[in-house]
Amino acid sequence: MTAEIHLLHGDRPPSLDPMMALVAADMNEVNSVILDRMQSEVPLIPELAGHLIAGGGKRMRPMLTLACGKLLDYPGRRHCKLAAAVEFIHTATLLHDDVVDKSDLRRGRKTANLIWGNSASVLVGDFLFSRAFEVMVEDGSLKVLKILSRASAVIAEGEVNQLSAQRRIETSEDQYLAIINAKTAELFAAACKIAAVVAERDEATEAALDAYGRNLGIAFQLVDDAIDYVSDAETMGKGVGDDFRDGKVTLPVILAYARGDAAEREFWQLAITGHRTSDEDLAHATSLLHKHDTIADTLARARHYGQRAVDAIGGFRASQAKATLTEAVAFAVARAY
């Protein structure tokens, strides 16, 4: 099913383990920076930030910065500090997302807003966001600052756009793609691209890593949105059907609505506006998704973007780093199975 992605790891299931092993030493340094820079004399800040940062995330984005550094044989240490800044930006957006979505669970654990309240989540998110910029300013590259300040604005824009599209069943695939490009793929792209900046490579290299990260990010989000209808709380760390109940119009729904008959469309209209959200309604929705193959087709779309990610770094010479970046794509698109 992932055969379209040209795999380098033979018969075992794709995994992030090889990438983690490759960057383990650098990641230790990233973790030190994270722990050091999330400190504050106000105890609630490290307490709340630590819950999320230490709470079992994959560190996907900083890992990409580090792996791209390896890909470019970057000999310096600057990317470790910047990778920590990227993780701070990501953590800040998660804290604010959970407030916006009124989430109770993330990665299988209680969310910060559930434990400490919305106010603390908003303000500690602001702190982490500001701290990310302080760390970038210490590094001193205006080019990196430009990439990540722009990414932050685009992410927020994407989140507002998503909020505006919520409960609107007429959302198009193009609008949906614009939203996930902004809210998810932009930071993946920036995380990869800054490795090229610190390694002082040419614009073509920057563009290649941007394209790798961006397409991986889109694939990643497409699979996430599919998983929301097929997984359960244990594998996903959040409840199945969350998007459905929140009235989030993701690609599986967009396709099912487009392919549905009048009765089905009326059901989707009621469901997405919050008038059909029982467990039976969710079961009916899921049956419609399967009837029209929209989970499978969402995953096919994900493989398309995954393949583009792999091809974006096709020009780099073969290396262990390139192999792990390729396998990360295969892992991202294989998660649903």
Under rule CB under 8 A, which residues in 79-98 are in contact with a copy of itself?
92-93, 96
How far apart CA 53 and CA 87 sit, in angstroms, is: 8
Name 105's bridge partners.
110
Among 77, 146, 275, 291, binds a copy of itself (CB under 8 A): 146
Q: Which stretch binds a copy of itself (CB under 8 A): 68-76, 134-142, 257-265, 320-328?
A: 134-142
Which residue lies nearer to a copy of itself by CB, 126 or 266?
126
Residue appearing with tokens 């000999």: 75
Pair 181, 218: CB distance under 8 Å: yes
Site string for a copy of itself, 11-40 (x = CB under 8 A): -----------------------------x
181 forms part of the interface with a copy of itself (CB under 8 A)? no
235 forms part of the interface with a copy of itself (CB under 8 A)? no
118 forms part of the interface with a copy of itself (CB under 8 A)? yes
140 forms part of the interface with a copy of itself (CB under 8 A)? yes
**For 320, left (φ over 0), alpha (ψ -120 to 50), or beta?**
alpha
H/E element, 304: helix 294-312
Among 5, 27, 60, 120, binds a copy of itself (CB under 8 A): 120
Nearest in space to 65 (alpha carbons), one of 122, 144, 160: 144
Under rule CB under 8 A, which residues in 44-83 are in contact with a copy of itself?
44-45
CB under 8 A, 24+ apart: contacts of 51-56 = 51/109, 51/112, 51/115, 52/91, 52/94, 52/95, 52/106, 52/112, 53/87, 53/91, 55/106, 55/107, 55/109, 56/107, 56/108, 56/109
Q: Kindly state the tokens that stand for 170.
A: 């007429």
Q: Which stretch binds a copy of itself (CB under 8 A): 28-36, 124-132, 225-233, 269-277?
A: 124-132
- The residues that touch a copy of itself, with contacts defined as CB under 8 A, are 40-45, 92-93, 96, 99-100, 118-120, 122-124, 126-127, 129-131, 133-134, 136-137, 140, 142, 145-146, 149-150, 152-153, 155-157, 159-161, 163-164
